[in-house]
Structure 1
Amino acid sequence: MTIMQTPNGFDLDNGGRRIVVDPVTRIEGHMRCEVNVDENNVIRNAVSTGTMWRGLEVILNGRDPRDAWAFVERICGVCTGCHALASVRAAENALNIQIPTNAHLIREIMAKTLQVHDHIVHFYHLHALDWVNPVNALKADPKATSELQQAISAHPMSSPGYFRDVQNRLKKFVESGELGIFKNGYWDNPAYKLSPEADLMGVAHYLEALDLQKEVVKIHTIFGGKNPHPNYMVGGVPCAINMEGELSAGAPVNMERLNFVRQRIAECIEFIDNVYVPDVLAIASFYKDWLYGGGLAATNVMDYGAYPKVNYDKSTDQLPGGVILDGNWDEIYPVDATDPEQIQEFVQHSWYQYPDEAKGLHPWEGVTEPSFVLGANFKGTKTNIQELDEAGKYSWIKAPRWRGHAVEVGPLPRYIIAYAKKVDYVTEQVNSSLGAFNQLAGTSLTARQALPSTIGRTLARALEAQYCAKMMMDDWHALIANIKAGDSATANVALWDPSSWPSEAKGVGLVAAPRGALGHWIKIKDGKIENYQCVVPTTWNGSPRDPAGNIGAFEASLMNTPMERPEEPVEILRTLHSFDPCLACSTHVMSEDGQEMAKVTVR
C-alpha cells in the first residue's frame, strides 16, 4: 500500500491536504481511495475508485444461458458461488424453470455456507487488524487474558496455558523479523486502543479461524464438488441423492455425507456463538466512541430480501427486502428489480460511455462500453502527485441508484431493514447484542444510534453469520425430512431443450451476497444471451458520483471522520474494510478472445 499526501499545511482552496491510499489492501481486487483532511485532520472530501476494467458482460453475449453461471462465478475467488446462484436464478426466471425442493434446500445451505465462511474470514483475516494490535499482545498477561475470555463467553479454549502458548508462537514470529501480513502495520498509532490481553485474545482467535474456515467450505465440496467455485446448474443442483450409496469419489450424496455437513454446521454455530460475536462486542467496547463511518447506512439502505423458506416466494424471506430513505426506519419502500424506474446505472463519472450520460439505464438495457481517456482523469497539484478529478470520470465502477437515490447495501442494511420490520430473531439478536455492548462499554446506545456506523456494520456481519448458521441447520433438517418422505429429486431438466423456449425472454436473479444485494439481469434471444448485466454489492457501495452529485457509500462513510495521523490511514482502512470491498466483482478485466481491449498507463 502506497500512502501519498500533498505538502503539509491546510490549503482551503484545494480542500485541504490530499491523502492518497493506493492500493487499498486486505480487500479483493484493486481499489484507490483519496481523501482531503482539514487543519484538524478531519476528512472533508473522499474519492473512491475501482482501478481495473470489468468486461465480463461482453464475454457472455451470444452464449448459451445455461452456461453463464460458470463464467460469472469466476468474477471472484472470494464471493464464489453467489454469482453462480444469481446466474442460474436469472436463467430460470427468464425461462420459467422450476426446481425441486431438495435443490432449493441444498442451494440455501450452500449460499449460507458462503455467508458464514466469508464473514468469519472477513472479520478475523481482513478486518481485525484494523482494531487488534498483534505486537501489543506480547505485553499481555495470559492469566488476565484467560479471565477476559471466560468473562465474555463459554469458549472452551480459554486456559492461561493456552494463551501463553499462543503468545510464545507470536513472540517467535515477531523475533524472526519475518512479520508477513503484520509487517506494515501502524502498531504505534494511538488509534489502537485494545488492552494487551484483548489483543492476545484476538490473535488467538485469528489462528482458530484459520483452522475453522478450511473445514466450513467442505460443505461446498459435498454438494458442489469443489471450492472456491462449486458447481451449479440451471434447473437444480448437480449432485444426486442416494441414501444407500457407498462413499467413493463422485458418488451421490448419502447419509454419511449429510451427517458430515451437519457436523460442520454445528462447528460454525459453536464458533460464532462463543468466539465471533463475543469478540466483536468485546473489541467494540474499547472503541465505544468510534461511531464514525455510518455513510449511507445512516440514511439510505436497500436489500432485495433473502433466505426464502419457500422457493420463489419472496413473502417467506427470513431477511425481508425493502428500501429506507433519509434514515426513516418507520417507512419501508418495496423494491422491484424488474422495474426500469427503480434500478438504474449511471456512468457520468465512470470510465464508460452511454448515448446520453445524463440518463441512467436499467440493467436489462445496460451498456458496457469502456471510455478511458489517458491524461484526462487527473488534476495537477503543486507536486508530482496525480489526484483523481472527481469532477470528471474517475472509476471503472458504474453508479447504480434506486429511484435516483444512492443507497448502501450489505449485512448492515439487511439488519436495519429486518429490525425496522420487527423480524423476531433479528430483533432479539440486536437488542441482546446492544445490551451486552452497553454493559461492557458503560453506554446506553439504542439500535438507531449504534447500528449506522463502522462498528454497527461489523456487528451486523457477525449477527448475520450467526443467523445463517442457525438457518443452515433448519435447512439441513428440512432436507432430511424431505428425503425421508421419499423425495430424492435434485434437478428438473424438462425445459432444457431450447426448442421449447420462447424466442425472446428476460429474467433476473437476486442473491444476498456476503457484501450485499446482488443482481444478475439476462436477456435471451433465439436461445442465446443477447445482453447480460451484473450489479454487484460493491457497485452500489463503491460507486462514484452520479449526475445529481450523490456520492456512494464508501465515499459517504469516510466524511467527517477524524484521523490521528493522516499519513497512517488506520481510520480510512477501518471504515472501508467494514464493507468488505470486493473490487474484483465490481470491476474485472477480460475480453471474449483474450485480445487487448483497453490499455492504461499510470505515470
Structure 2
Amino acid sequence: MSKRIVVDPVTRIEGHLRIEVSVKDGKITDAYSSSPMVRGLENIVRGRDPRDVWAFVQRACGVCTTIHALASVRSVEDAIGVAVPPNAEMVRNIMQGALYMHDHTVHFYHLHALDWVDVVNAIKADPKATSELAQSISDWPKSSPGYFNDVKKKITRFVESGQLGIFANGYWGHPQMKLPPEVNLLAVAHYLEALEWQKEIVKVHTIFGGKNPHPNYLVGGMACAINTESPGGLNAERLAYVGRLLEEGKEFIEKVYIPDLMAIASFYKDWGAIGKGFGNYMAYGDLPVNGYNDPTSFKFPQGVILDRDLSKVYDVNHRNDDISEFVNNSWYDQYAEGKDSSRHPWEGETKINYTGPEPPYEELDVSTRYSFIKTPRWRGKPMEVGPLSRLLVGYARDNKEIKEIVDASLKQLDVPVDALFSTLGRTAARGIETQLVANWTMEFYDTLLRNIKNGDTRMANTDKWEPESWDAECKGVGFCEAPRGALGHWIKIKDGKTENYQLVVPSTWNASPRDPKGQMSAYESTLIGTPVADPELPLEIIRTIHSFDPCIACAVHLYDEHGKHLSRVSNLSSCDI
C-alpha cells in the first residue's frame, strides 16, 4: 500500500515549494511539485519605459538579482538593435562570475551540505584527526588541531544546551547520514567560514553596480564610468580591489569548497545512481568574449541533449516556437486557444485573476491544476536546466576546458560519466563549474584592465538611447545562464513602451507541473525511484530537490488551514519561479 508524504514548505530555499510523493515498498512511485506563490512582475512592467524594466524585474529574486537585470537589458538591446562596448561586456561577465562564486558556494554550505553532513555527530570527532584530514586534501591555512578543537567546543555547547540555533531541525542521526565524525567537523567548520567569506565577494557588485543586492545596470552598457585617476569613478584603486576580491574568492573555492565537495561525495557514491530523471538537458549558453550575438564565443556553450545521449547536441532557438509555455495545470486563467494549448513567451500571459478552487492545504488535487508555476517545454519536451546541464552540453560539445575538469573530477571520485546523471552529479557539477567560472572571471578582469591600459574607456553605447530612434514596434529576447540554469526574458515594445513581458526562469523549467501529455518536470521525474528509509524523516526527498537549488517566490497569498483567503502581501524582493 502506498503512503502519501507531503513536504511543505521545502526549507533552505528562496520562496515556498511544496513536494508531494507516493511511497510504496520504500521507494517513491509518484511525485508532484507545487508552488503556492504567485508572480506578478510581468504585469507590473507593462506600459513602462523598456529602459527601466530591469530595475523592476531584477526584484524577481533577492539572491541572484543581477542576472535578471542582465537578461532584461539584453532583451531591450536585442529589440532596439544596440551592441554594448567590450568593457561593459567584461564588467557584466565579472559581475556574473562573482554571482556564481557566491551563489554556488553559499548553496553548497548553507543550503545543501546539511543534507549530507550530520552536525551533531561532529562532536564525536577527534580534532587532531580532522586536522590531518584537512591538511591531506588542501593547504588551506586554517587547519590546525586547535582550530578544529575550538569549532568542536562551539558545536558541543549548542548540542548540550538543547538549542542548536542555525543547526536546529536537521535530520541528525538519520540512517542516510554516512560521514565519519571528522568529515562532519571539517564541513561544519567551513560552513562557518563560508558565512564570513560570502559577504566579501559581493562587494564586486557594489563597486561596479553601486550596491548589492540589486546593482545598477544600463541598456547599452554599464553605468560605472572608467576614470583611473578620479576618486568618483572606476579608478585604479577600485579596480585593484576587485582583482583582490576575485583572487580571494578563487582561493576559497579551490582550497575549501572543492576539497570538501570531493571528500563528502566520496562517501555517497551510491547517490550517483539516484535522481536521474528523464535525461533531457538544456543550456542557453553565456559569458560572451566576442559579443552577445556570437554564441560560438560563449564560455558556456548552448545546446540541448535528449535522453542522456551525449553524441548529439541540438541548437536552441529563442525566437521560434521551440520554446513555449502551457498553463493547463497552473492556477492561472487558461489561454483562449484552449486548455491544452501553449504559447511562445512573446505571446504569453500571466493572468492572476484565477477564480477556480483555492490551492488545497492538506493535499494537492492533482487531477486538476496544482501549482502557480507555468509549464515550459522545448519542442514539446521537458528540460532540466542548471549547472549539470551546462557541463553536459559543454562536454558533449567537446569544449576542452569543460571536458578536462569534468574528466579529472570523475577520475578523482572513481565514478563513470553516467554518475553525472544523478543527484550526486548535480551537486558535483555545481562545484566543478564554480572552479571554471572563478578562472574565467580572472580572464575577464585581465581583459578589462588590458582594454583600459590600451586607452579604451568606453562603457556604454547611447546611439539608440532615445525611443525616437526605435522602430514603432519591436521585440527582443535576453537570455542568460543564471546560477540555477537557463533564464530568458522576452519583451515586446510598442510606441516606446513595454507592451508585453515574460520571464521563463530556471525553476520554471525544473519545478513546473505536468503538461497536457502528462510529462513530468525535472523535480518530479528525478524523485521517481528514490529510496525513502523513514517516511517521517524524508531526507532523501530534500537531497534531490536541494540539488537543483530551488528558487521560488513573488507575491504571497496567505490562507488558513481550511483554504480561506486571509490576505495578500506584495513582495518585490523575493525570488524566481
Question: TM-score with structure 1 length normalisation?
Answer: 0.91
Alpha-carbon distance in structure 2 between the residues aligned to 1:116 and 1:371: 39
Change (3 A) 1:21 1:368: same
Could you report, residue by residue, the CA deviation over 1:492-518 in whole angstroms, capped at 9, with x for unpaired residues? 122111111110000000111010000
Could you report, residue by residue, the CA deviation over 1:463-493 in whole angstroms, capped at 9, with x for unpaired residues? 1111111011000100000001111111112
Letter paired with 2:392: I
Q: Which residue of 1 aligns with 2:405?
A: 429
Alpha-carbon distance in structure 2 between the residues aligned to 1:175 and 1:404: 55
Contact 1:295 1:554 in 2 (8 A): no
Partner of residue 48 from structure 2, selected from 63, 66, 85: 63
Q: Residue 546 in 1 paired to residue 506 in 2?
A: no
Alpha-carbon distance in structure 2 between the residues aligned to 1:600 and 1:54: 17
Q: Which residue of 2 aligns with 1:305?
A: 285
Partner of residue 269 from structure 2, selected from 265, 269, 288: 288
Q: Which residue of 2 aligns with 1:446?
A: 416
Q: Which residue of 2 aligns with 1:43?
A: 28
Q: Residue 361 in 1 paired to residue 343 in 2?
A: yes
Shift of 1:181: 2.6
Shift of 1:158: 1.4
Alpha-carbon distance in structure 2 between the residues aligned to 1:89 and 1:495: 14
Alpha-carbon distance in structure 2 between the residues aligned to 1:315 and 1:183: 47
Contact 1:354 1:369 in 2 (8 A): no
Alpha-carbon distance in structure 1 between the residues aligned to 2:247 and 2:146: 26
Letter paired with 1:253: L
Q: Equivalent residues in 2 for 1:32-431 (5 A)?
A: 32-38=18-24, 40-246=25-231, 251-296=232-277, 299-312=279-292, 313-340=294-321, 342-352=322-332, 353-355=334-336, 356-370=338-352, 372-373=354-355, 375=357, 386-431=362-407
Could you report, residue by residue, the CA deviation over 1:431-480 in whole angstroms, capped at 9, with x for unpaired residues? 11111112xxxxxx211x21011111011111111111101100010000
Shift of 1:272: 1.1
Contact 2:123 2:181 in 1 (8 A): yes
Partner of residue 578 from structure 1, selected from 541, 547, 560: 547
Instruction: Give ranges in structure 2 of 5+ residues lacking alignment.
Output: 563-577
Contact 2:72 2:478 in 1 (8 A): yes
Alpha-carbon distance in structure 2 between the residues aligned to 1:213 and 1:491: 30
Shift of 1:172: 2.0
Alpha-carbon distance in structure 1 between the residues aligned to 2:558 and 2:166: 31
Q: Which residue of 2 aligns with 1:510?
A: 479
Alpha-carbon distance in structure 2 between the residues aligned to 1:376 and 1:496: 45
Contact 1:322 1:332 in 2 (8 A): yes
Alpha-carbon distance in structure 1 between the residues aligned to 2:524 and 2:165: 30
Alpha-carbon distance in structure 1 between the residues aligned to 2:405 and 2:521: 28
Q: Equivalent residues in 2 for 1:479-494 (5 A)?
A: 479-494=448-463
Could you report, residue by residue, the CA deviation over 1:189-212 in whole angstroms, capped at 9, with x for unpaired residues? 111110000000000110111111
Contact 2:532 2:538 in 1 (8 A): yes
Q: Which residue of 2 aligns with 1:17?
A: 3
Partner of 2:384: helix, strand, or coil? coil
Partner of 1:67: helix, strand, or coil? helix
Contact 2:158 2:165 in 1 (8 A): no
Alpha-carbon distance in structure 2 between the residues aligned to 1:418 and 1:162: 40
Instruction: Give ranges in structure 1 of 5+ residues lacking alignment.
Output: 1-9, 11-15, 379-384, 439-444, 591-597
Shift of 1:219: 0.3
Alpha-carbon distance in structure 2 between the residues aligned to 1:61 and 1:169: 52
Contact 2:275 2:530 in 1 (8 A): no
Contact 2:20 2:32 in 1 (8 A): yes
Partner of 1:534: helix, strand, or coil? strand
Change (3 A) 1:422 1:360: same
Q: Which residue of 2 aligns with 1:537?
A: 506
Alpha-carbon distance in structure 2 between the residues aligned to 1:599 and 1:47: 21
Alpha-carbon distance in structure 2 between the residues aligned to 1:433 and 1:422: 16
Shift of 1:292: 4.5
Identity of aligned residues (%): 55
Q: Which residue of 2 aligns with 1:523?
A: 492
Contact 2:36 2:359 in 1 (8 A): no
Letter paired with 2:54: W
Alpha-carbon distance in structure 2 between the residues aligned to 1:56 and 1:222: 27
Alpha-carbon distance in structure 2 between the residues aligned to 1:258 and 1:267: 14
Q: Residue 569 in 1 paired to residue 545 in 2?
A: no
Alpha-carbon distance in structure 2 between the residues aligned to 1:165 and 1:295: 40
Alpha-carbon distance in structure 1 between the residues aligned to 2:468 and 2:101: 40
Could you report, residue by residue, the CA deviation over 1:49-70 in whole angstroms, capped at 9, with x for unpaired residues? 0111111111011000000000
Shift of 1:176: 3.2
Letter paired with 2:496: G
Contact 1:153 1:278 in 2 (8 A): yes
Could you report, residue by residue, the CA deviation over 1:575-603 in whole angstroms, capped at 9, with x for unpaired residues? 1001000012xxx228xxxxxxx785552
Alpha-carbon distance in structure 2 between the residues aligned to 1:225 and 1:153: 35
Partner of 2:4: helix, strand, or coil? strand
Could you report, residue by residue, the CA deviation over 1:357-415 in whole angstroms, capped at 9, with x for unpaired residues? 2111000000111364554765xxxxxx8321222100000000000000100000000
Question: TM-score with structure 2 length normalisation?
Answer: 0.95
Shift of 1:90: 0.2
Contact 1:277 1:459 in 2 (8 A): no
Contact 2:285 2:300 in 1 (8 A): yes
Aligned residue-pair number: 559
Q: Which residue of 2 aligns with 1:589?
A: 555
Shift of 1:175: 2.7
Shift of 1:93: 0.3
Partner of 2:212: helix, strand, or coil? coil
